[in-house]
Amino acid sequence: MLRYSLNTLWNEIKARCWHIWSWPDDIRVHVRYLWYTSNKARLVFILLPVLIIASLSTWRAINSNALQRDIGCLALNVYHEARGESARGQHAVAQVTMNRVASRHYPNTICEVVYQQNWDRIRKRMVGAFSWTELDHRSRPKGRAWHLAQVIAHDTYYQRTDDLVKGSLFYHAKYIKPRWARNKKPVALIGKHIFYQ
C-alpha cells in the first residue's frame, strides 16, 4: 500500500514537472510564430537603439576600468620614484611617464610603460625601466604621500600642469652618473632628479 502511494506520488510529481519542463519548447514555438507572422520593422526600430546603448555602455565600462588602471599605475610610479620630492618634482616624474606613452619608441599604455623591461647586456638579464618595478618587496602605498601621488597622477593625466620637463623621456637621480646619460641633453634639474631629452 505504501509502495503504491509512493509510486503514485512520484508519477504525479513527474507529470507536473513535465509541464514545467516543456515550457521552453512552448516558448520557442510562440517566439517562432511571432517572428514569422509579425512586422519586423517595429522590432528593428526597438532593438537597434537598445543594442547600440548596450554596446556603448559596455565600451564605456571597459574604458573606465582601463583608465582607472592607467592612472593607478601612474600614481604608483610617482609614489615609488619621487615620493620624497616636492609636488613639482613628482609632477616632473609623472610627465616623463606620460611623454613615454606619447612616444612611438615606448608602449602605448601607462601600465605598459611603467612595467616595461629591456634586456641589459651588462647584467645579462631583463631590467625594468623604473627601478622600483624590479623589487620583490615594495612598500605598500599609504598615507599622505600616496594621496598626493594619486592627485598628481590625475592632474598629469588630464594635463592640468605646465610642461616642466620639456618633453623629456629620461631622468635619473642627481647623485648617480649612468652611462646612457652621456649622450643625452639635460633640460631640467628638479629636486633630486636630472631630466634629459
Residue 114's identity, in one-letter code, is V
Tell me what pLDDT residue 89 has: 94
In degrees and rounded to multiples of 5, residue 2 shows phi and psi of: -65, -40
Q: What is the pTM of this model?
A: 0.68
Kindly report, residue by residue over 26-56, the tens digit of the pLDDT.
777 777 777 777 777 776 777 788 788 878 7
Residue 24's identity, in one-letter code, is P
Question: Is the pLDDT score of 103 beyond 90?
Answer: yes
In the structure grid, which three cell numbers stand for residue 76, read together?
Answer: 604608483
Tell me what pLDDT residue 154 has: 94
194 Cβ contact list (under 8 Å, min separation 6): 171, 172, 173, 174, 181, 186, 188
Tell me what pLDDT residue 90 has: 94
Question: Would you say residue 18 lies in a domain?
Answer: no
Question: Would you say residue 148 lies in a domain?
Answer: yes
Question: Would you say residue 8 lies in a domain?
Answer: no
Question: Is the pLDDT score of 72 beyond 90?
Answer: yes
Question: Is the pLDDT score of 1 beyond 70?
Answer: no
Question: Is the pLDDT score of 17 beyond 70?
Answer: no
Counted domains in the chain? 1
Tell me what pLDDT residue 70 has: 93
Q: Which domain holds residue 127?
A: 58-196
Tell me what pLDDT residue 38 has: 73
- What integer is the mean pLDDT of 9-19? 64
Distances (CA, A) of 105 to 11, 74, 101, 156, 171: 73, 18, 9, 20, 16
Q: Which of 133, 139, 152, 137 is nearest to 92 (CA)?
A: 152
In degrees and rounded to multiples of 5, residue 105 shows phi and psi of: -90, 0
Question: Would you say residue 13 lies in a domain?
Answer: no
Tell me what pLDDT residue 54 has: 78
> What secondary structure letter does DSSP report for 179?
G
Place of cell 610603460: 113
75 Cβ contact list (under 8 Å, min separation 6): 141, 146, 149, 150, 152, 153, 154
Place of cell 594619486: 150
Tell me what pLDDT residue 112 has: 95
- Residue 179 banded pLDDT, cuts 50, 70, 90: confident
Question: Is the pLDDT score of 10 beyond 80?
Answer: no
Question: Would you say residue 20 lies in a domain?
Answer: no
- Residue 22 banded pLDDT, cuts 50, 70, 90: low
Kindly report, residue by residue over 149-175, the tens digit of the pLDDT.
999 999 999 998 888 998 999 999 999
Question: Is the pLDDT score of 9 beyond 70?
Answer: no
Question: Would you say residue 46 lies in a domain?
Answer: no
Question: Would you say residue 121 lies in a domain?
Answer: yes
In the structure grid, which three cell numbers stand for residue 52, read together?
Answer: 547600440
Question: Would you say residue 49 lies in a domain?
Answer: no
Q: How far apart are CA 86 and CA 161, in angstroms?
A: 14
- What integer is the mean pLDDT of 168-183? 90
Q: 136: exposed, middle or buried (C-beta count within 10 Å: 0-12, 13-18, 19+)?
A: exposed
